Amino acid sequence: MLRTDDFDYHLPEELIASRPPERRDGARMLVIDRASGTLEHRRFADFPELLNAQSDLVVLNDVRVARARFFSDDGRFELLRLRALTPTLWHCMAKPGKRLAPGKQVTVGGITGTVREVMPDGTRTVEFEAVIDENAHGHLPLPHYMRRDDDSGDDERYQTVFASPDKTMAIAAPTAGLHFTPDLLSRIPHAFLTLEVGAGTFQPVKAELLRDHVMHTERYAITPEAAAAIESAPRRVAIGTTVTRVLEHCARTHGGVTPHAGETSIFLHPPCAFLRTDALLTNFHLPKSTLFMLVCAFGGTALMREAYAEAIARRYRFYSYGDCMFIR
């Protein structure tokens, strides 16, 4: 019976990357061969060399990160917009939540909002009197482990170069995609799908046993062109855990990747067979996180522990702005 503590490891705090590398494609890349169990140290710029242009299709998530973090004008409250139910009615996380009971008000950018409802999970719906200019008052919601607020550099670097402006709905970046440059992307066969990365991607697993963990739900969409390309590809290379979750959800619930929109709460952890993911590019993930569990399911827990230990020993940079690993 798998326990959450089975997926713990110690990471020196100084290895957490709070800033991106100087070049997008300049990150280090640990290449892991599942068949042989070997580890190889490369640079992400080498990624195209590791692909077979005749068989491989790289699948990426083209979601864009929204400026979804807001501060009240008096500095007393912080709102993280999880979803805009309408342009003026938001589903939010709030800090400090205890002070924002139903009927309480909060003002952002001179526009007053009223708390309409508090959900069982502590999130809230807040209705504003008018539309808030998120470009003027919103901030990119950087992960808590960066321990800093966003700045102008993040406007470019915490977005992928292929993020679609009409899909500005995520509150976290699909970080494996941050390494790609337009030139590198132009040299590899690829397709896009969309998964709206939500706050759940950072939520710790609080259950002692994996079987008791309730996975978060995220929305996704797949176009007819992408579905056809993915299903016909001899080998599918998922760029990140978000893509992997969509591919594997579709394989289990639809029998394959089909053109549609839906929601997934799939929890991939050992032991697990992967039906539409043949290789995976991903960053290094937090201890005891569902993302690390997914990687262990794909690459094998023992091999992933060895890979993480090697990365720590070699001083790789971890998490969203950090280095990456290619599991093939």
Average of per-residue pLDDT across 39-62: 96
Structural domain range at position 212: 4-65+142-327
Does residue 271 share a domain with residue 181? yes
| Residue 232 and residue 160 share a domain | yes
Domain identity same for 58 and 80: no
296/291 Cα distance (integer angstroms): 9
CB atoms within 10 A of CB 35: 6
In whole angstroms, what is the distance from residue 109 CA to residue 107 CA? 7
Number of domains within the chain = 2
* 241 and 305 assigned to the same domain: yes
Residues 19 and 77 in one domain: no
Confidence band of 313 (pLDDT split at 50, 70, 90): very high
CB atoms within 10 A of CB 305: 16
The helix, strand and coil proportions of the chain, stated in percent and rounded to the nearest 5, come to 30, 30, 40
The CATH number of residue 185's host domain is 3.40.1780.10
Buried b (16+ CB within 10 A) or exposed e, 72-95: beeeebbbbbbbbeeeeebbbbbe
For residues 130 and 26, the answer to whether their CB atoms sit within 8 Å is no
pTM: 0.94
3-state secondary structure (DSSP) of residue 97: helix
Assess whether 79 and 149 both reside in one domain.
no
- Select from 115, 112, 110 the least CA-distant residue to 97: 115
**Final residue before a domain boundary, out of 122, 137, 152:** 137
Average pLDDT over residues 82-99: 94
Mean pLDDT over 307-318 rounds to: 98
83 and 223 part of one domain: no
Checking if the pLDDT of 249 tops 90, the result is: yes
Closest by Cα among 179, 232, 216, 212 to 83: 216
Classified as helix, coil or strand, 42 is strand
Q: Do 231 and 128 sit in the same domain of this protein? A: no
Tens-place pLDDT, residues 199-234 = 877 777 889 999 999 898 999 999 999 999 999 999
In this prediction, residues 189-194 reach a mean pLDDT of 98
100-123: average pLDDT: 95
Round to the nearest angstrom and report the end-to-end CA distance of the chain: 27
Same domain, 256 and 280: yes
E strands in 28-104: 28-33, 38-43, 56-61, 64-65, 69-71, 78-84, 89-95
The last residue of a domain, from among 79, 106, 137: 137
The residue among 93, 120, 137 that closes a domain is 137
Indicate if 181 and 124 belong to the same structural domain: no
- Name the average pLDDT for the chain: 96
Tokens matching residue 199: 């706050």
CATH of the domain at 119: 2.40.10.240
Amino acid at 175: T
Indicate the pLDDT class of residue 236, thresholds 50, 70 and 90: very high
Is residue 217 domain-shared with residue 127, that is, in the same domain? no
Same domain, yes or no: 105 and 242: no
